[in-house]
Amino acid sequence: MKHIYKAGAQPDAPTILLLHGTGGTENDLIGLAEMIAPGAGILGVRGNVSENGMPRFFRRLAEGIFDEEDLIARTAELGSFVDAAAVEYGFDRSNVYALGYSNGANIAASLIFHQADVFKGAILHHPMVPLRGLELPDLKGLPVFIGAGENDPIVPRRETEELASLLSGAGADVNTHWERQGHQLTRTEAEAAAAWFKTQA
Protein backbone atom coordinates (compact mmCIF):
# COMPACT_ATOMS: atom_id res chain seq x y z
CA MET A 1 0.00 0.00 0.00
CA LYS A 2 1.21 3.55 -0.64
CA HIS A 3 2.58 4.85 2.64
CA ILE A 4 5.03 7.00 4.53
CA TYR A 5 7.12 5.82 7.44
CA LYS A 6 9.11 7.79 9.95
CA ALA A 7 10.89 6.07 12.83
CA GLY A 8 10.21 7.18 16.39
CA ALA A 9 12.64 9.33 18.39
CA GLN A 10 13.41 6.43 20.76
CA PRO A 11 13.50 2.71 20.04
CA ASP A 12 10.70 2.10 22.56
CA ALA A 13 8.44 4.85 21.13
CA PRO A 14 5.07 3.63 19.86
CA THR A 15 4.23 3.68 16.16
CA ILE A 16 1.08 5.54 15.14
CA LEU A 17 -0.81 4.09 12.18
CA LEU A 18 -2.44 7.00 10.34
CA LEU A 19 -5.69 6.27 8.53
CA HIS A 20 -7.16 9.19 6.61
CA GLY A 21 -10.76 10.09 5.81
CA THR A 22 -12.34 9.78 2.34
CA GLY A 23 -10.31 11.77 -0.19
CA GLY A 24 -7.25 11.93 2.02
CA THR A 25 -3.69 10.67 1.70
CA GLU A 26 -1.02 9.02 3.81
CA ASN A 27 0.22 12.51 4.81
CA ASP A 28 -3.04 13.94 6.15
CA LEU A 29 -2.77 13.08 9.81
CA ILE A 30 0.96 13.60 10.33
CA GLY A 31 0.51 16.95 12.10
CA LEU A 32 -2.20 15.45 14.28
CA ALA A 33 0.00 12.49 15.21
CA GLU A 34 2.88 14.82 16.09
CA MET A 35 0.55 16.76 18.36
CA ILE A 36 -0.99 13.71 20.01
CA ALA A 37 2.12 11.56 20.28
CA PRO A 38 5.29 13.64 19.98
CA GLY A 39 8.33 11.47 19.25
CA ALA A 40 6.28 8.48 18.12
CA GLY A 41 7.02 6.63 14.91
CA ILE A 42 4.58 7.24 12.07
CA LEU A 43 3.15 4.87 9.49
CA GLY A 44 0.76 6.80 7.27
CA VAL A 45 -1.13 4.65 4.77
CA ARG A 46 -3.22 5.55 1.73
CA GLY A 47 -6.42 3.61 1.17
CA ASN A 48 -6.34 1.31 -1.86
CA VAL A 49 -9.87 2.05 -3.02
CA SER A 50 -10.67 5.03 -5.23
CA GLU A 51 -14.13 6.58 -5.17
CA ASN A 52 -14.20 9.00 -8.10
CA GLY A 53 -10.53 9.64 -7.51
CA MET A 54 -10.88 9.94 -3.74
CA PRO A 55 -8.81 7.41 -1.79
CA ARG A 56 -10.69 5.28 0.76
CA PHE A 57 -9.94 2.15 2.73
CA PHE A 58 -12.94 0.14 1.48
CA ARG A 59 -15.85 0.46 -0.91
CA ARG A 60 -19.23 1.82 0.06
CA LEU A 61 -22.57 1.56 -1.68
CA ALA A 62 -23.68 4.94 -0.36
CA GLU A 63 -22.62 7.25 2.44
CA GLY A 64 -22.60 5.15 5.59
CA ILE A 65 -23.62 1.96 3.73
CA PHE A 66 -20.63 -0.28 3.36
CA ASP A 67 -19.72 -3.01 0.92
CA GLU A 68 -19.17 -5.54 3.68
CA GLU A 69 -17.37 -8.09 1.55
CA ASP A 70 -14.90 -5.46 0.42
CA LEU A 71 -14.57 -4.09 3.97
CA ILE A 72 -13.67 -7.54 5.30
CA ALA A 73 -11.12 -8.17 2.54
CA ARG A 74 -9.58 -4.68 2.88
CA THR A 75 -9.39 -5.07 6.66
CA ALA A 76 -7.32 -8.23 6.21
CA GLU A 77 -5.19 -6.52 3.56
CA LEU A 78 -4.42 -3.56 5.85
CA GLY A 79 -3.68 -5.87 8.79
CA SER A 80 -1.18 -7.83 6.69
CA PHE A 81 0.36 -4.62 5.41
CA VAL A 82 1.01 -3.38 8.98
CA ASP A 83 2.52 -6.77 9.93
CA ALA A 84 4.84 -6.66 6.90
CA ALA A 85 5.78 -2.99 7.54
CA ALA A 86 6.82 -3.86 11.10
CA VAL A 87 9.25 -6.45 9.71
CA GLU A 88 10.48 -4.18 6.91
CA TYR A 89 11.06 -1.10 9.11
CA GLY A 90 11.86 -2.93 12.33
CA PHE A 91 9.24 -1.33 14.60
CA ASP A 92 7.60 -3.16 17.48
CA ARG A 93 4.36 -4.64 16.10
CA SER A 94 2.94 -4.90 19.61
CA ASN A 95 3.32 -1.14 20.19
CA VAL A 96 1.15 0.25 17.40
CA TYR A 97 -1.70 2.72 18.01
CA ALA A 98 -4.30 3.45 15.35
CA LEU A 99 -5.17 7.06 14.62
CA GLY A 100 -8.05 7.28 12.20
CA TYR A 101 -10.57 9.82 11.00
CA SER A 102 -13.94 8.98 9.46
CA ASN A 103 -13.37 6.28 6.81
CA GLY A 104 -9.94 5.59 8.38
CA ALA A 105 -11.49 5.30 11.85
CA ASN A 106 -14.02 2.86 10.39
CA ILE A 107 -11.37 0.49 9.06
CA ALA A 108 -9.43 0.81 12.34
CA ALA A 109 -12.61 -0.23 14.17
CA SER A 110 -13.04 -3.10 11.72
CA LEU A 111 -9.48 -4.29 12.45
CA ILE A 112 -10.28 -4.22 16.18
CA PHE A 113 -13.52 -6.15 15.55
CA HIS A 114 -11.52 -8.88 13.78
CA GLN A 115 -8.29 -9.20 15.75
CA ALA A 116 -7.81 -8.91 19.52
CA ASP A 117 -4.21 -7.74 19.62
CA VAL A 118 -4.08 -5.71 16.44
CA PHE A 119 -3.42 -2.43 18.30
CA LYS A 120 -2.07 -1.36 21.64
CA GLY A 121 -4.74 1.32 21.59
CA ALA A 122 -6.80 3.38 19.17
CA ILE A 123 -7.87 6.96 18.61
CA LEU A 124 -10.97 7.01 16.46
CA HIS A 125 -12.25 10.36 15.24
CA HIS A 126 -15.89 10.16 14.12
CA PRO A 127 -16.10 6.39 13.61
CA MET A 128 -19.19 4.36 12.73
CA VAL A 129 -20.09 0.77 13.57
CA PRO A 130 -18.12 -0.92 10.75
CA LEU A 131 -20.00 -4.24 10.78
CA ARG A 132 -22.88 -5.70 12.73
CA GLY A 133 -23.52 -9.26 13.85
CA LEU A 134 -19.87 -10.12 14.47
CA GLU A 135 -18.71 -11.78 17.62
CA LEU A 136 -15.96 -9.50 18.86
CA PRO A 137 -12.64 -10.87 20.13
CA ASP A 138 -11.60 -10.41 23.75
CA LEU A 139 -10.56 -6.73 23.91
CA LYS A 140 -9.81 -6.71 27.63
CA GLY A 141 -8.13 -3.46 28.63
CA LEU A 142 -7.74 -2.13 25.05
CA PRO A 143 -7.71 1.67 25.40
CA VAL A 144 -9.92 3.40 22.84
CA PHE A 145 -10.57 7.13 22.48
CA ILE A 146 -13.62 8.07 20.42
CA GLY A 147 -14.09 11.64 19.21
CA ALA A 148 -17.68 12.26 18.15
CA GLY A 149 -20.10 15.00 17.23
CA GLU A 150 -23.48 15.29 18.95
CA ASN A 151 -24.72 16.75 15.68
CA ASP A 152 -22.58 14.73 13.27
CA PRO A 153 -24.72 14.35 10.09
CA ILE A 154 -22.83 11.20 9.04
CA VAL A 155 -22.64 9.45 12.41
CA PRO A 156 -25.79 9.73 14.54
CA ARG A 157 -25.21 9.94 18.28
CA ARG A 158 -26.80 6.54 18.82
CA GLU A 159 -24.32 4.94 16.40
CA THR A 160 -21.36 6.36 18.34
CA GLU A 161 -22.95 5.00 21.52
CA GLU A 162 -23.53 1.62 19.88
CA LEU A 163 -19.87 1.39 18.84
CA ALA A 164 -18.70 2.41 22.33
CA SER A 165 -20.94 -0.19 23.93
CA LEU A 166 -19.89 -2.97 21.50
CA LEU A 167 -16.23 -2.24 22.27
CA SER A 168 -16.70 -1.97 26.03
CA GLY A 169 -18.89 -5.07 25.96
CA ALA A 170 -15.84 -6.92 24.62
CA GLY A 171 -13.65 -5.50 27.40
CA ALA A 172 -12.18 -2.36 25.83
CA ASP A 173 -11.63 0.70 27.96
CA VAL A 174 -13.53 3.31 25.95
CA ASN A 175 -13.44 7.04 26.45
CA THR A 176 -15.87 9.08 24.34
CA HIS A 177 -15.33 12.79 23.82
CA TRP A 178 -18.26 14.82 22.43
CA GLU A 179 -18.14 17.97 20.34
CA ARG A 180 -20.83 19.96 18.52
CA GLN A 181 -19.08 20.61 15.20
CA GLY A 182 -20.71 18.02 12.98
CA HIS A 183 -18.33 15.53 11.33
CA GLN A 184 -15.33 17.86 11.68
CA LEU A 185 -12.21 16.92 13.54
CA THR A 186 -11.71 20.08 15.57
CA ARG A 187 -8.71 21.44 17.42
CA THR A 188 -10.40 20.83 20.79
CA GLU A 189 -11.14 17.23 19.85
CA ALA A 190 -7.47 16.76 18.87
CA GLU A 191 -6.43 18.29 22.20
CA ALA A 192 -8.73 15.93 24.07
CA ALA A 193 -7.17 13.00 22.19
CA ALA A 194 -3.69 14.28 23.07
CA ALA A 195 -4.63 14.59 26.76
CA TRP A 196 -6.05 11.05 26.68
CA PHE A 197 -2.94 9.69 24.96
CA LYS A 198 -0.72 11.18 27.68
CA THR A 199 -2.55 9.06 30.23
CA GLN A 200 -1.64 5.91 28.21
CA ALA A 201 2.13 6.33 28.04
- Measured from the CB atom, is 47 or 121 closer to ligand MLT? 47
Q: Which residues lie below 8 Å from residue 192, measured CB to CB, with a gap of 6+?
A: 145, 147, 177
Least distance (Å) between residue 78 CB and ligand MLT: 13
CB 27 within 8 A of CB 6: no
Interface residues with ligand MLT (CB under 6 A) are 21-22, 60, 63-64, 102-103, 106, 128, 154
- Measured from the CB atom, is 125 or 170 closer to ligand MLT? 125
- Measured from the CB atom, is 8 or 104 closer to ligand MLT? 104
152 has catalytic annotation: yes
- The single residue of 3, 114, 177, 183 carrying the catalytic annotation is 183
Least distance (Å) between residue 60 CB and ligand MLT: 4
Least distance (Å) between residue 95 CB and ligand MLT: 26
- The single residue of 20, 102, 110, 125 carrying the catalytic annotation is 102
The residues that are catalytic are 102, 152, 183
